[in-house]
Amino acid sequence: MLSKRLVSPAARSAHADPVGSLELKTLAGKAGPSVVHSFKGRVAVVTGSSRGIGLGIARELVGRGAKVCLTARNAEPLAEAVRDLGGPENAIAVAGKADDPAHQEEAVARTLEAFGRLDHLVNNTGINPVYGPVLETEEAAAAKIMAVNVLGPLAWTRRAHAAWMGEHGGSVVNVASIAGIRASLGIGMYGVSKAALIRLTTELGAELGPQGIRVNAVAPAVVKTKFAEALYEGREEKVAKAYPLGRLGVPEDIAGAVAFLLSPAADWITGQTLVVDGGVTLGGGL
């Protein structure tokens, strides 16, 4: 059974309808109905999803009826995440390195084996193993960042395309970063990789649109996960002051935006990057 806490408030109050149809719901305290898209009958691969933003995205999709394949390097947290999502009826997990071709191939094959299709791909895995100026980033570290953050999403998309989407269509969301749209001192090489991912999103959006495949991205600011701990731990209130919406992000903030871009609600949107940042890039102040 799906545990209650993994279902977002929006999905929880909705009626499930057949594949790809709308779910009508009424938001408590708001006049009139609004619309949430069901993912019932849909299947997604979400990379880097044993915790943090990836798990938040998987939770949102399963909460709306999707089956998901989770990936990460470590098997035990993955197994825990599968349990959290209601077990093998809703989710499978494949452990491996996101930039390893054999792992990519296995995850896609096992998804098709378990659930019979692959409608959505979320390229969420991203790494930032070094801090410091771009010129001081070791070449091996820079190459690894590009391999995981840029060539990884390209390879996963290629595999999803070959295995399912090229014939049946689908939608892809890449998890970029606001570091990819403005200078981010200290994490510059990571920013370069996320800028390349945003550009890859544009290119694939244009190339794959005629095949019925949409490719979009989200660009989050600081979201409270293990990955970003060093950026806010012990000084969250101070850091949040720069955010017009008054707080740092949580995985649910990103999950809702990703679900929107994957869903038919975004049927006429491709190649775009949606900034999800509490307003921090607006540049307020004098």
Ligand X SMILES: NC(=O)c1ccc[n+]([C@@H]2O[C@H](COP(=O)([O-])OP(=O)(O)OC[C@H]3O[C@@H](n4cnc5c(N)ncnc54)[C@H](OP(=O)(O)O)[C@@H]3O)[C@@H](O)[C@H]2O)c1
When the beta carbons of 35 and 75 are compared against ligand X, the nearer one is: 75
Asked if 198 touches ligand X (CB under 6 A), the answer is: no
Burial class (CB in 10 A: 0-12, 13-18, 19+), 267: exposed
Binding mask 145-184 toward ligand X (x if CB under 6 A, else -) reads: ---x--------------------------x-x-------
Task: Name residues contacting ligand X, limited to 92-111 (CB under 6 A).
Answer: 97-98
Asked if 140 touches ligand X (CB under 6 A), the answer is: no
Tell me if residue 171 falls in helix, strand or coil.
strand
- In angstroms, what is the minimal distance from the CB of 74 to ligand X? 3
For the question of residue 190 being annotated catalytic, the response is yes
The DSSP symbol for 132 reads: B
State which of residues 10, 44, 53, 215 lies at the interface with ligand X (CB under 6 A): 53
State which of residues 117, 131, 227, 252 lies at the interface with ligand X (CB under 6 A): 227
Catalytic residue among 131, 190, 232, 243: 190
Binding mask 10-49 toward ligand X (x if CB under 6 A, else -) reads: --------------------------------------xx
Q: Other C-beta atoms within 10 Å of 242: how many?
A: 15
**Both tokens of residue 62?**
């399963």
Burial class (CB in 10 A: 0-12, 13-18, 19+), 77: middle
The DSSP symbol for 248 reads: -
Please state the φ and ψ torsions of residue 51, each to the nearest 5 degrees: -160, 180
**Both tokens of residue 146?**
């590009």
Sign, Cα dihedral of 245, 247, 248, 253 = negative
Catalytic residue ranges: 190
Which chain residues interact with ligand X by CB under 6 A? 48-54, 72-74, 77, 97-98, 124-127, 148, 175, 177, 220, 222-223, 225-228
